[in-house]
Structure 1
Amino acid sequence: MKENRKILILVTQGIVGGTSTFLLELTQSLIDAGEDITLAYGSGEYIKERSTELNLKNIHLKWMGRTVNPLKGLMSFLEVRAVLKREKYSVIHLNSSNALIAGIAAKTIIRGPRVVFTVHGLSFLDKNADVSNLLKWAYGLGMRFLLLFVDRIVFVSNENYTRAKQKGIVKNGHVIRNGLKDPTFLSREEARKELSLGNGFIIGSIGRLVSQKNYEFLISQAENFPNAEVIIIGEGKERGKLEKLIKGNVSLLGEIQNASRYLKAFDVFVLPSRYEGFSISLLEALFAGIPVLVSDVGGAQEILSDTNQIFPFNNAEAFNSKCRRIIESEDYRESLGLSNYESSRKFSIEKAAEEYIKVYRT
């Protein structure tokens, strides 16, 4: 007999991004598998809009957000606790460190829900994170405390899981790699027309303009490829800083809804991140069947079959050499694109949903 579960999936921000994309698809896949799912989110409109379009049950949490303000933290705690008491969820699935306050709220309720937490990336704990060692230490200490209120911990890559164990953050956990439903793409010609791009070589990326994505590296290398155009789709707090670095053949196109539809406009997709868990934008590029170049962080080596597309973090010589080879050989580009598309077949949203259902049940 099937266990009757009500599950609340919760994320700090409902903004455009890989985590939101994945959680929307996971929610739909879990519902298709017969689960009763509600998706809760804090600041941002993207999840709200997409949930409405997809007819998914959703809750906007007014006080949930990225903050170190203790008053807002208290209000978020009380808000989540009220939701959990009212709806009687059997599982609450958290998807960001700020959302861990909901785990504490759950444990204050008699016969409260089981708490599952997915670590989508180690952020401040990563060696490449652009923060002080003191802040890394404080963040790690806080994580260890908050994880005391979690029943099951999930990592999206073996690399993140192994490093978390080495740092003493966790002793045990599960690894469930992200997945996607086959995305829909515009053709190369349609995508370039809608983005007002020409017929030249396009080096492209999709991501938030934040320190994590390390776009200053990509912009700094653009001058080495004067016959190519570098475009970045996304928005964020580092726009002003990045604009000051641009010298010529780089364009920041801003936030575009369903940006992955335009991936086939790119001749190569570049992700020079400081740290990642399991990048959704990289996975989308694989589904699009285009070459990629990514820094050697997070789960990159677990995603790509052809590791020649990985370069050491911030290593300009390696990046330029690999990018030049892709530019100069159409046959090589086609070979990489085919290899990447074949790799994408391993990462279905249905497989990820099956693995999460097992975790919810244990």
Structure 2
Amino acid sequence: MPSRLSQVSVIAPHFKRRLSGVTSTVIQLVPVQNRLGQRVTTLGPGLPASLPFMGWLDVPQLWKAPEGQSHRVWHARRNIEMLPGIILRDVLRMPLKLLFTSASQRQHTGWTKWLISRMDHVIAVSAKTASYLERESTVILHGIDLERFSPPLNRQEAKQKVGLDPAFNYIGCFGRVRHQKGTDIFVDTMLRLLPAHPLWKAVIAGRATAKHAAFEEELKAKVKAAGLSERILFVGEHTNIPEWYRALDLFIAPQRWEGFGLTPLEAMATGVPVIASDVGAFPELIVDGQTGRIVGRDSVDRFVEAAEPYLQDDGLLSASATSALTHARQNFSIEREATAIGQVYARLLKAD
């Protein structure tokens, strides 16, 4: 009787219970990878039961390669997942090829450099990330679900659906409410812009954790003091976030730091142009002057200067929205990402 892992080619370990960008990546990618025939299973806690998984008691089965292959791929995304892969391959002599996906945009510690040096191959999620690696890598940008993030048939109706007034245009800023995400930069930009543009409002969607609750309250107090509480809306965290994107006319991503950042892709896929700071992968996602603008981080003046033309010129707004949608659909599907990763798997599995 064949073992339950005899048909599995790739192990995707996930060794943290805390929800993170890595968790989201695994949850989004694994079903698509398996639809494409890549035969991926997960190992570890913190993932939904709907994903294929193996238990710790199944690990000894990794000594035997899958049918028709000499190796499996161990696809790690964190240090704590690289190290067990090295032990399984080099100490226990299991037939594994080790792959690491790096999203970090900082100088690595000596420990991390050593772990990365032991990998058979490395994927970088952006060219900027690749620049911090001291070895060859394959750059594969993240993709998104273009069915989930898609434009509305009628944007005015989309606004009504989430409780917004369809008589106004809306600028959005979505994500955790905190200093790192630049929520204060967005608020200060809106305080400068909205008084001169009475047909525009702003929406901040996202949660402030307990650590950042005082930061959010300070922003709300600043908005109230400016008399703009009815035009700068804090709507909290929502599970139907694609519907909120569909209600927008312009999106701003003012982060001070970002590892990758999916919000510009999600906005563009719903037909919304994006103005973003030059952090993370944003400069690799947005075509400056066509699908939106890239501006210097941490500068309210620069965001005001970049955003105002969109508030003044409906033609520019419409043309940029069309370009953003086309760009997202042509370049950033999750199927494209999964296919590119599958090509790396194939090269590793063919290697002697």
TM-score, with structure 1 as normaliser: 0.75
2:252 to 270, 274, 295: 270
1:311 corresponds in structure 2 to: 295
Partner of 2:226: none
Q: Say whether 1:343 aligns with 2:310.
A: no
Alignment of 1:180-195 (within 5 A): 180-184=144-148, 185=150, 186=152, 187-195=154-162
Residue 306 of structure 1, CA deviation: 3.3
The answer to whether the Cα contact below 8 Å between 1:18 and 1:281 also exists between their aligned partners in 2 is no
Query: Contact conserved, 2:188 with 2:300, CA < 8 A, in 1?
Result: no
Specify whether residues 19 and 258 from structure 1 end up closer, same or farther in structure 2 by C-alpha distance, changes over 3 A only. farther
Total equivalences in the alignment: 313
| Paired residues of 1:5 and 1:91 also in contact (CA < 8 A) | no
**8 Å contact from structure 2 (residues 8, 41) kept in 1:** no
Residue range with higher mean Cα deviation, 338-347 or 187-196: 187-196
Which of residues 148, 151, 157 is equivalent to 2:120?
Answer: 151
Q: Which of 257, 261, 278 is residue 279 of structure 1 equivalent to?
A: 261
Deviation at 1:112, TM superposition (A): 4.8
Asked if 2 retains the 8 angstrom alpha-carbon contact of 1:119 and 1:154, the reply is yes
What's the counterpart of residue 290 of structure 1?
272
Change (3 A) 1:211 1:275: same
TM-score by length of 2: 0.77
The 5 A counterparts of 1:91-240 are 91-97=73-79, 99-107=81-89, 108-122=91-105, 125=106, 140-162=109-131, 164-165=132-133, 170-184=134-148, 185=150, 186=152, 187-199=154-166, 200-226=168-194, 227=198, 228-237=200-209, 238-240=212-214
Partner of 2:331: helix, strand, or coil?
coil
SS class of match (2:188): helix
Alignment of 1:225-264 (within 5 A): 225-226=193-194, 227=198, 228-237=200-209, 238-246=212-220, 247-248=222-223, 249=229, 250-264=232-246
Residue 52 of structure 2 is matched in structure 1 by: 57
Q: Which moved more, 1:323-332 or 1:197-206?
A: 197-206
RMSD: 2.9
Whole-Å separation in 2 of the counterparts to 1:299 and 1:94? 21
- Greater alpha carbon shift after TM alignment, 296-305 vs 224-233: 224-233
Amino acid at match of 1:296: D
Report the alpha carbon displacement of residue 339 of structure 1 after superposing the two structures with TM. Answer: 0.9
How far the C-alpha of 1:292 sits from its partner, in A, is 0.7
- Report if aligned partners of 1:157, 1:278 keep a CA contact under 8 Å in 2: yes
- Which residue of the other structure, out of 325, 350, 362, is the alignment partner of 2:309? 325
Distance 1:211 1:12 in 2: 28
Paired amino acid for 2:38: E
1:208-261 per-residue CA deviation (whole Å, 9 max, x = no partner) reads 335542222212322113344332222243343222222224333333224123
The 3-state SS of whatever aligns with 2:323 is helix
Q: Work out whether residues 106 and 115 of structure 1, in 8 Å CA contact, stay in contact via their aligned partners in 2.
A: no
Counterpart Cα distance in 2 of 1:352 and 1:142: 29
Specify which structure has the higher proportion of helix: 1
For 2:175, the aligned partner's letter is: G
Structure 2 CA distance for partners of 1:37 and 1:211, relative to 1, 3 Å: farther
**1:174 positional shift:** 1.0
Change (3 A) 1:326 1:97: farther
What displacement does 1:13 show? Answer: 5.3
Structure whose CA Rg is larger: 2
Tell me which amino acid in the other structure corresponds to 1:57: P
Structure 1: unaligned runs, 5 residues or longer: 61-78, 126-135
- Give the match's secondary structure for 1:30: helix
Where 1:305 maps in the other structure, the secondary structure is coil
SS at match of 1:285: helix
CA contact (8 A) 2:9 2:73 kept: yes
Displacement of 1:40 in angstroms is 4.5
Q: Structure 2: which 5+ residue stretches go unaligned?
A: 1-5, 66-71, 224-228
Distance 1:341 1:317 in 2: 27
